[in-house]
Every structure is written in structure tokens, then in C-alpha cells.
Amino acid sequence: MNERDYPTYLFHQGTNYRSYELLGCNLNKIDNYYIITFCVWAPNADTVYLVCDIFGWDKPQPMYRDKDLWRLEFKDTECHEGALYKYIIEKDGNRIYKGDPYAFYSKGKDDGASIIYNRHSFLWSDENWLKSRSRLAEARNTELSTPINIYEMHLGSFMRNNGKVLTYRQLAELLPTYLKALSFTHVEFLPIAEHPFDGSWGYQICAYYAPSSTFGSPNDFKHLINELHKAGIGVIVDWVPAHFPKDEWGLYEFDGSPLYEYQGADRQESKLWGTRFFDLGRGEVRSFLISNAMYLFKELHIDGIRVDAVASMIYLDYDRDGGEWIPNIHGTNINLEATSFLTALNSAIHSELPDALMIAEESGTLGKITHPVCEGGLGFDLKWNMGWANDFFDYLSVDPIKRHLKHKALNFPIMYGFSERYILPISHDEVVHGKKSFADKSQGTIDEKLADSRAGLLFQLTFPGKKLSFMGYEFAQIREWDHSSELEWFMLDFPKHFDHREFVRALNLFYLERAELWELDHDPRGFEWIYCDEADKNTIAYKRYSLDGEYLSVFINFSGSEQELELPNELNGARKLFDTGNIYSDIFYKGKEGKEFIKLPPRAGVVLEEGDSLIKFKT
């Protein structure tokens, strides 16, 4: 085998993790000429043509077959960056126009034409961020003892200008400042890869390597990331390696027959989403997907990916009725090809980029999702705690007089809280389709809803686990999220909602400043109950510890009435407090035998320090 054939060999083996350098359209300059190479994988095609602005769309250029690949190369004194192109796939007398699966830039929508793009043309200036990210990864231990507080957002509905979506460059002017002012550590974008249907929120992707052209060019997207990094904000993107839509110009039956998708009916199609599942056991598909993740990190400078719908990948009976799925060779419902793919993905990314964050959105019971591959785990860094979210939102939706019946929503999560490295999500999925916004989940007046929201956010920010919250929660938007319109920014004209955002700003800053709230997020030594079973009072109290043994004490009352709790002896003498409006000026009093008690108003919480130290924060 010669050196030129080696990348192709690895591509077919499923271990070419930079296959975007082999396939797709790559533009290079040698001396005074631009060399443009096109390469596409279409093993079942009879013939493949390139149609392009360069030659005229009425003059298809035949590509030559190289085993399972089709190639075309030419040189010109002109760059041709920005020219549109497609592949024509001919099979059994049928002709299909396809976008390039490896296109770095795509017209998207119903057209799907790919666009020639020089991926080396952007000049980055985020070196300091990348160096600090690397140093931080070296300093932190395997428990991720760093603060992570993520602002999740959908680019198309964050903010609009006269009804039009903001471009990447317009977002670059305002988003870094906004997120920095609110003390977030990261932003997470719902999928940004090119997707035809806006109503999918980006989760039905046709061009995996191309940032959505709805908001600008790939260089514009890189500019947004560059500016966020310069402001000290990490960037995470949602990534969808589970399934893809059936738009004709996309991956669907790419060469006239199932190629990127599974062949068998037991695995091929998602009834839930009407999409096709990737064939994760096929080498070329593994190379395509892992290379795509590598491209996001290496070429787009993102800091983490959140892998969507992991459960749909690893469970053979996901979205299947009895008789519609075939067990694996061990007789279980685990997709062995999927778990093999995920371990290969995480191993490849971490070996190249040890400071990258790999996050799983997984709702099953497989276990060891965030355990190292060498210990039999899948190798993710973090996993969304869907159980915590579902239980807690259900708890908030109940009238306080009945919350004692659901008290386990507050104390049960710690029973499994250290089995994985968790993120506590208040995500986009939980504020749509009749589930109500976070602030509107509670019952009562607007003042009671906002008080519940503040108490709930205090619980999220002080409970073990990293944090994620969806846009609009910071000013307590009441309306559910609507992907087709912007957030209700006018609500900031109302003092109560403006004050709520100021509360979030203060809470986020407090979180950043206190190592007790994040150094031992994934270690049982970082948490201790003070009161866990006060169901009749709808209250909980616990301690959070730092690596050096310092601790904070958290008391939260989720009831609709005032509640009293005896203070532990070590907290006697804690007198000073920070009041945001629903805490008494003096919350302590002496009871019988000199014992000290704390008195909490309805829907309120407080964080204390031992002894006479200043109480750092409270709702």
C-alpha cells in the first residue's frame, strides 16, 4: 500500500478521523494555481457527475471511479471560492442531485447546493483562550473540579432585528458581553449544522460540516466563536450522530440505496422522528461522524459537544414495539455497534484534545456513561441528569400544600448523584409543548412564581452537578419558548423581571466565586445532608464542601408558608445575610435551652457560612 492510499484504507476501516481532508471539496494553492479536488463516497452508484458554477450547470463533469470513491481534480488560476456545486448520482436509470456530505459550506434549505470554501481562510486570535483551556484541563482532576455554568440557546429565536434573525456577526457584537455580564462560563448552541427544516430546531441535519448559512458564512461563525473565546466564554454545540432526515439532497439513500443508514428495517428508521438512523457499525460512517466531531474541535475551535439522543443509539428497542427489533448476540437490547462507536469517538477526541468536553444526553439505564473507556465506560466527561430535571419540574408544578407527597424529588437524586458526572439541566425540551416555561411551572401569583423560580435556581446552583439553563429563564419569561419568534425581551421593562435577572447575575457570580459549589461536584465528600426528610415542611438543608474542607450550608423552603429549622451547633452565630426581597431582616432566633433556629419565609432559601462569617448569598 502506498502512502496516498493509506487515508482511503483508514476511511473504509472507520479510523480516518480527518476524512474531511480526503473527501468533499478541498481547495489548496500551489505556486500560482488553485487545486480543487472533489471526492465522494458512493459505492452503489453507476455513474457520478459534478455540476458546478465553474463549468455551468448544463455541463455535468464526469467523475472517475476509484473503487468505492468518485474523484475529480482540476487546477485554475482563479480561486472559485463561493461557487455552488452538487453531485449527480445515477443508479439503475434514476438520477438524483445530492449535496456534498462533507461540504464545509452549504446553501441549505430546500436547495442544498454545496459551496466551495477555503477552510484555512479565517485568521484566529483566540490563542490565549485555548492555552488557558489547556492549562485548566491539566490542573483539574478527573472529577472536573471546575465551575461549569452553561447558557443554552437557539440562535434563531434568541433575539431578532425587525423580525429577522441575527447574523453570526451581529450575535458576536452582543452575546459575549451579555454572557460575561451574567457570569456564565459556557454557551451551548442548539445544532448549528445545516438543516432544511427550522421546526426541527436543528436536530435534523443534512450537511454536518457546514454551519447554518441562515446566519452567515463559516468564517462568520468562526468570528462568533473567536469573540466568545476572547471574552472568556467556552462554546459547546449540540451534535446529532444518531439520525438524519429524509430530504432528497441530504444523506438519505445517498447513492440510490441505503448507505449512511442501517440496511435492516429493525434499525433503519425512527418512527418518532421520521428520520433514518446512522449505521454505526459501518467503517465509512464511523469515519464520517468521528471526523465531523474532530472538525468541530480542530477547525471551528469549539470547546465541547453535547451528543444528542444517545439512548436512541444504544438501545435496540428504542422507539420499537415487541417483534420490531432483534437482540444482539448476547440476547440483550444493547446496540454493540453503537457503544463501540461511542467509545471510539470519545477515545479519539480525548487522545487528540484532552481539554475537550464530551457530554451525553442519555436517558437510559446502561450505566458508566461517564466512566473511562479503560474501566468499561463510554468515556463521556458529563451526562445530563434527566431524572433530576423531570422530578424537580414535576415537584415545582404541584401546589405547595401537596409538595410533601413528592419530597423525594429533592432528596432522591443524591442517592445516584455520584454514579455519573452529571449536569443539572433546565433545557429547551422542558419549556415547550405544554410543559410551560421554568418560571411558569409553579402555581400561584406572579410573585409566588418568581419566588419559586429563585428558590429553584438556588437549588440547582448549589446542588452537586454542573449547570445548564435555557435562554429566557434569567428574566423569568412566562411564555413557552417558540422557535419562530424572539425571546420576550420587553419583559425586562417590568421591575420584577428585571430584578429576577439581577438575581441570576448575582447567583451566577456567587457560584463562580465559591469553590464549595463546584470542586467536589462528582465526589460524595462534597455533600452532606443537614435535613433531608422534612417533607411536611417542604424544606431541605445540606452542606457543600471544597477540596480544602471549607463548606457552605444551604437552607431552602419550598412550602407556601413560613418554616423553622434548628440550626446545627456549628452554625450558631451566623447573623449577617444578603437579602433579595423575600428573606426576613433577621432569620435567626433563640429557642428553649438556648438552641438557635432559622426561620425561612415561603419559597425562599439562604446560604450560610459557619460562625460569625458573612452569609454570602440568599434568595
Alpha helices in 106-261 (DSSP H): 127-139, 155-158, 168-181, 218-230
Nearest by Cα to 317 from 335, 298, 337, 297: 335
* Contact present, 236 and 357 (Cβ < 8 Å): yes
Whether 361 is a known active-site residue: answer: yes
* Contact present, 272 and 202 (Cβ < 8 Å): no
Q: Considering 361, 452, 474, 521, which one is annotated as catalytic? A: 361
Whether 612 is a known active-site residue: answer: no
- Neighbouring-strand partners of residue 189: 153, 237
Cα 579 from Cα 574, distance rounded (Å): 14
Cα 40 from Cα 101, distance rounded (Å): 8
Cα 320 from Cα 146, distance rounded (Å): 40
Cα 200 from Cα 270, distance rounded (Å): 14
Nearest by Cα to 543 from 601, 607, 603: 607
Alpha helices in 372-494 (DSSP H): 386-397, 408-411, 413-416, 446-462
Q: Considering 194, 261, 308, 381, which one is annotated as catalytic? A: 308
Cα 612 from Cα 327, distance rounded (Å): 62
Residue 553 one-letter amino acid? S
Q: What 3 state SS string does 294-317 have?
A: HHHHHCCCCCEEEECCHHHHHECC
Residues 6+ apart with CB under 8 A from 276: 243, 244, 245, 246, 251, 252, 258, 260, 261, 262, 268, 269, 270
Compute the residue count for the chain: 619
SS3 (DSSP) at 236: strand
* Contact present, 307 and 359 (Cβ < 8 Å): yes
- Neighbouring-strand partners of residue 470: 152
Cα 131 from Cα 223, distance rounded (Å): 18
* Contact present, 299 and 293 (Cβ < 8 Å): no
Q: Residues 392, 394, 395, 399: what is their CA dihedral angle, to the nearest 10 degrees?
A: 150
Active site residues: 308, 361
